[in-house]
Each structure stands twice: as structure tokens, then as C-alpha cells.
Structure 1
Amino acid sequence: MSHRGRRLAGACASTLALGLLVAGCGLGPPPRKGAASGAGSSAGTEVAVGAYLHYGSPGVERMQDLSRWLGGTELRAGHTYLPGDTWSNIEGAPDSLRTWARWRKAKADRLFVLNVPMLERNEGGVPDGRVAELIRSGAKGTYDHHFQRLGKRLVTLGVPDTVIVLGWEMNGFNYTHRCRPDPENWKKYWRRIVAAMRSVKGQRFRYDFAPNRGSDAIAWTKCYPGDDVVDVIGMDSYDQPPGDTFDEQVTQPYGLQQQVDFAKAHGKRISYPEWGLFRNGDNPEYVRRMVAWIAKNKPLYHSITDYCPHGVWQCSENPRSTRVFRELLSTRQGRGRPFGSDGAASTDRPPDAG
């Protein structure tokens, strides 16, 4: 979720596909333990619409308001982050997890998406040499117990089917859980985390591998830990270079098209845990093309990052994009009101989450 090192891409789709995007029916049952959730699996191809609005309990409340603003469009993907400042928070200490768990359990077809850091001090400016040491320690199992505790906490809260976006934007330059300092041990560390969380009785977690769009610090394919420990191929994609146009964002090396092709080759669903406006400003054409790309390629879920400068609802800086987003995502069953009556911008994010 960092502003540093973000990217994006896309293409067009039909009006019918846009209707399917908004409709977003049930996901079907999550895969069995260790099973891949492929593009042609029984989980179906319906898209869960979501938005990142706040990492804590206010995020749940704002989802209701955003849904009303969209004329009743149901937001089935609830997306939040665990703070990456301390191990206790990575273990799931924030009380707001209880609120998110209640939201998830209120309807059977909802999807709870949780970004989980792989290391503490995740935005602490840790140098590459130290990052490599930490990754090697993780690959040896030093931190397994932290993720077992997180798994047990999620199961106890009644959300054993959480989608875990583990070590997101690992191909970038900034997060302590970045891959570049030691790709081979990074992959081993991912595998240890998944094994630790799968050891928890009653879990049915799915694991989302979500790099930044583009090459960034390292080709994200070099960080891919294996089909047996990944269920979804995600991508964080913002409207910024490289990729001045949406077509460039689609076709660039390690861009949106390569994500789709890679996922298909590996039998996985795709996702967009983070997308939104950025360096290219208020760009309604980008929003139109991204929504069409999502409708065409049918990810498991997508979640717009809705705070300034990325957002369209809590941010007043992008009025033209806001109109397009509302037009495309609204069910047209009435008009609601923005959160806080005036749609004021919010920058509420978890400490050290990105």
C-alpha cells in the first residue's frame, strides 16, 4: 500500500461484462486445504467488489455508506491490513479484526481479504543486507510461531477462509518483506509461513501472491514460491508510470496481461487487492478502462484504494474519475450519500502497513 513503487494496466470489455462485475454473486465454497483455486475451478467466476476504506473498524462502517452511494451495489470483498510494525500486530492483535470477522460472518458469500506482512518493521527502511539476514532466518523457521498464532486467532474469530495477501508488493524496493535481497530464501520463507498457518486445525486459508505491476526492483516471477502454496495471483496496480497509457500498462513486461497469462498457465484465479489513481492525476479514462479490464478478466475480487490521491469516494481530488466510477459500479437502485456527508478525504491507514 506504499505510494513508492506502484504501477498499473488494462483493456476494454462489453456492457454485459460490466453488468456481471457489478452483480457479483456467490463465490462458492473455498478450496480444500492445499488445493489450488484454478481459473476453471468450482469456485465460479463471479467478481467480489471491494474497497479499502480504513484498516480498522471504521472501514466496515464506511463500506455500508459506500454501498449506498453506489445505489445499493453490494461490496462483498472486505479488505484490510495488519500493521507491520511489531510481531504482536502481525499475529493479529488489533481489536478491529473482531469487527471484520463479524462483517464476514454476516453473509455466507462475503470474502475477507487480509494483507499480512512477513516481517516486522515493514516500513522501517531496513537495508538490503539486514533484510537478507531476516529472510534467511524466516526460511529456517525462526518466525513460524508468529504465523501459527495468527492462524489460530483467525480460526477462533470464525474466519478460517480468509484470503491472505502475504508479503504484498514483494518485488518493490521498500518493504522489509521485499524479495530482491534473497529471492531463493524468500520463496522458502513464504512456504514456511504457509505451512505454519496450514498446521492450524480448522483453517481453510487461501494465499494471494500480489506483486506491484511491472518490473520494479525484481521480476515478480522470480519470487513466485510455487503452485502448491499459492491460490491466487494478484497484482497491485495504480495509474502511474511506467505505463502512461492503459494499453502500455497492459502490455509492459510483468504488466497486467502477463499477470493474466501467468495465472492461466498455473491454473489460478487473479485478483486486484489494490488499484486506483496516482501519478497521472484525475483520469476518468483510466477508471473506465480498469473497470472494463476487471469485468473482462473476472478476478476473484478487486479492491480500489479509496483515499487521496488514489480514491474516488473519500477523496475530492478526482471528481471526473469519481463520476465514472459511480456510473459504472452503481446498481442505479437509488442514490446514497458519501461518507461523512461531504465525501471528505481520509488517509487512515494502519501504522507501518504501507
Structure 2
Amino acid sequence: MSHRVRWLAGACISTLAAALLATAGTFVTPQRPAPGGKAGTGIAVGAYLHYGSPGVERMQGLSRWLGGAELRAGHTYLPGDTWANIEGAPDSLRSWARWRKAKANRLFVLNVPMLEGNETGAPDDQVAELLRSGAEGEYDHHFERLAKRLVALGVPDTVIVLGWEMNGFNYTHRCRPDPESWKRYWQRIVAAMRSVEGQRFRFDFAPNRGGDAIAWTRCYPGDDVVDIIGMDSYDQPPGHTFAEQVTQPYGLQQQVDFAKAHGKRISYPEWGLFRNGDNPEYVRRMLAWIAKHKPLYHSITDYCPHGVWQCGQNPRSGRVFREFLSKKGRGRP
């Protein structure tokens, strides 16, 4: 999904719905996983609420809406407009770092673009040239600076969702124009960030669900430079039903199987509603899928049209989400 659109997440906050809080119908929801366990165990639940400091503040509101349920995954994005921002210049990183350090069992998940001008619509030949430059080490210093900044902020264990949705058509950091250079570039970025003393980063390879512009398996850069196999999976084609989203080529089942074959955990950095509107069946089945396959973390994209809390357009889906994840269960306050 477009990072530019994510910056508009706050536009839906005025529609935070009393209607959502008051919905009283009953849905059959999948069985929730057993709570408890040692700190840091189980699936870390999160949501993308805003790219900057307001996202940190809204984590508390979402937790209250969920009856006090713990949100352990804090998720944000670095802007891909300039190298300075990709190096971690936004002041909001300090707010996210404070949130992460407040509890030992939290995860900080940071989407990191691989190239500046990431949403400028660069043509394939230009992208290929940029990827080749990256593969030759021209941009290593930008990622070393980012790594040093994260370590200095006290978040050396950040989950880095690097070059997300690389199998798509839109981002400048897309893979299709030159898959071999893309993979070498990823390898160089990981090496640059891992060279920084004190780092404990985990790197999350997170394509779009489905084939999109290129099979995401063709972009996989290797087990030694990937820690997590993620997937961004919205309620949209390809896959008109959830069953099709599971079984389609390069879909949810293939992600699980690929991760198992490579000895990796899975994640869902982005998921949510989209083309099919307020679709509680999708939310119910996605949550059941997550409960069954136990990703390291999942993060719903919570603004219109995707969300369930900040977006009043999806009250039925919001009720399913709340009933399933509420600390007290079944939507009770």
C-alpha cells in the first residue's frame, strides 16, 4: 500500500465511532489463543495508526478499545522521499523508541525504503540502474547511518521490513526491473546494518500476497540475510474469497510453506480491508489464520478504507476484530 496514503491516516480519526464502540450484535469468532506465557512469547499484536508520534499515542486508545488488550507490536514507516529520512531523520523515531523501551516484551517494527524518491513513479530502466548502483555499494553509508541511529536510540533489536512489497509495480525499490541486482542490493544493506556494533536487527522480507508484477520467490535474497518471511495481505484480488487468498499462487499458504522450508518465522506487517468493503468474514478468517499459523507479529493497517478502529466505515468488521482480540472477550468493555 502507498506510503503517501499512510501519511493521511489521521484524516479518519474524526470518524472514530461511537457506533463501533456500541455495536451489540453477535458474531461467531474463531477461538482465541490461550493468553499468558512468559514475557515476549505468543503473537505480538499491533496496528499501523500513524507514521509519527501520534501513532504512539493512539496505541493507548486502541488498547482501551480492545478492553485493555496488550499491543506488543509498534509499527511505523520511514519516508522514502529523501536519503536523510531513510537514514532515520524523523524526530518521531524518538517517540517510538521510548514506547519500545517501556516494556521488554515489545517489538518495534520499522518499514525502511531501499531508495529515495520511492513513490516518484520512476520508469523500469531508471530503477534497474539504481538497483545496480545499490548492488555495487553506492548507498551502503545511508543504511549504516540508520543502523547507528537506531542503536543510539536504544532500539538495536528493531524488526526491519526492508523494501516491502518489492514484487509490486509501484515503488522505486521494486524488484522486477532487475531481480539479481535487487537481491545483491538487499544483501549489501543487511551487511551494512549488521556491521554496526551493538545491533541485533531482524530483517523481514515482506512481499504483496500473490504474483503481482513478479513472483516474490524470484526476489528472495537468501537465508543468511532474511530472518522473517512476511506478507502484506489485503482483502482484494487476486483472490476474491479468503480461500482463494490462501491457495492462489504466491498466496498465504505458499508463504507459510516457503517459510517452513527455509526455517523462518512468518509475519503480517500489513493486512486489512480494501476492495470488498466492510467484510467481517475476511477479518474473522484472517484472524483465525493468524491464530493457527502463529506469526511473530501482525499489524492491521488501521485507517480508511482498511481499518476497524479509526475508520467508521467498517463497523461489522470492527466488531469481529474487537471481539476476537479484546482482553475480556466478545466485545465487552
Give TM-score, length-normalised by structure 1: 0.85
Counterpart of 1:222, as a letter, is R
- Which residue of the partner structure matches residue 14 of structure 2? none
Q: Is the 8 A contact 2:30 2:324 kept in 1?
A: no
Q: 2:106 aligns with which of 104, 107, 110?
A: 110
Q: Secondary structure of 1:303's match?
A: strand
* Distance in 2 of aligned mates of 1:326 and 1:127: 42
> What amino acid is aligned across from residue 198 of structure 1 in structure 2?
R
Give, in whole Å, the separation in 1 of the partners of 2:237 and 2:152.
43
Distance in 1 (CA, whole Å) between partners of 2:168 and 2:256 is 20
AA matched with 1:99:
S
Counterpart of 1:174, as a letter, is N
Give me the whole-angstrom Cα distance separating, in 2, the residues matched to 1:308 and 1:126: 27
Q: Distance between the aligned counterparts of 1:121 and 1:24, measured in 2? A: 43
Whether 1:19 aligns to 2:33 is yes
Is contact 1:69-1:335 (8 Å) kept? no
- Within 1, Cα distance between the matches of 2:38 and 2:279? 29
Cα distance in 2 for residues equivalent to 1:315 and 1:13: 21
Aligned to 1:78: 74
Deviations 1:136-181 (A, max 9, x none): 0000000000000000000000000000000000000000000000
The answer to whether 1:261 aligns with 2:257 is yes
Match of 2:204 among 190, 203, 208: 208
* Distance in 1 (alpha carbons) for counterparts of 2:110 and 2:316: 30
Q: Supply the distance in 2 between the matched residues of 1:55 and 1:207 (Cα, whole angstroms).
A: 20
Task: State the Cα RMSD in Å.
Answer: 1.7
- Structure 1 residue 331 displacement after superposition: 1.0
Once residues 19 and 221 of structure 1 are traced to their aligned partners in structure 2, the CA distance between those partners, rounded to angstroms, is 31
User: Secondary structure of 1:112's partner?
Assistant: strand
CA contact (8 A) 2:83 2:115 kept: yes
Q: Does 1:229 find its partner at 2:211?
A: no
Whether the 8 Å CA contact 1:272–1:302 is kept in 2: the answer is: yes
Taking a change above 3 Å as real, the CA distance of residues 330 and 258 of structure 1, as seen in their structure-2 partners, is: same
Contact 1:13 1:295 in 2 (8 A): no
- For 1:294, the aligned partner's letter is I
5+ residue gaps, structure 2: 5-27
Match of 1:304 in 2: 300
CA contact (8 A) 1:233 1:268 kept: yes
Equivalent residue letter for 2:107: L
Residue aligned with 2:33, SS: helix
Q: Deviations over 1:21-80 (max 9, x none)?
A: x658533xxxxxxxxxxxxxxxx6x10000000010010110001000000100000000
2:25 is matched with none
Q: Could you tell me whether the CA contact under 8 Å between 1:24 and 1:47 is conserved in 2?
A: no
> Following the alignment from structure 1 to structure 2, what is the Cα–Cα distance between the partners of residues 24 and 180?
42
Distance 1:3 1:177 in 2: 13
Could you tell me which amino acid in structure 2 is paired with residue 93 of structure 1?
Answer: A
> Could you tell me whether the CA contact under 8 Å between 1:73 and 1:331 is conserved in 2?
yes
TM-score under structure 2 normalisation? 0.90
The structure in which a higher percent of residues are helix is 2
Structure 1 residue 19: Cα displacement: 2.7
* TM-fit CA distance, 1:332: 1.6
Q: Superposition pairs for residues 1-354 of structure 1, below 5 Å?
A: 1-2=1-2, 15=31, 18-20=32-34, 26-27=39-40, 46-332=42-328
Dislocated runs of 4+, deviation >4 Å = 22-25, 333-336
Higher relative contact order (CA 8 A, sep 6+): 1
What is the distance in 2 between the residues matched to 1:267 and 1:26? Answer: 23
Deviation, 1:2, is 2.1
Distance 2:29 2:258 in 1: 20
Counterpart CA distance in 2 for 1:155 and 1:94 is 15
Alpha-carbon distance in structure 2 between the residues aligned to 1:295 and 1:2: 27
More deviation in 326-335 or 211-220? 326-335
Distance 1:63 1:262 in 2: 32
**Separation in structure 1 between the aligned mates of residue 50 and residue 190 of structure 2, nearest angstrom:** 26
Q: What is the percentage of aligned positions where both structures have the same residue?
A: 83
Letter in 2 for 1:26: A
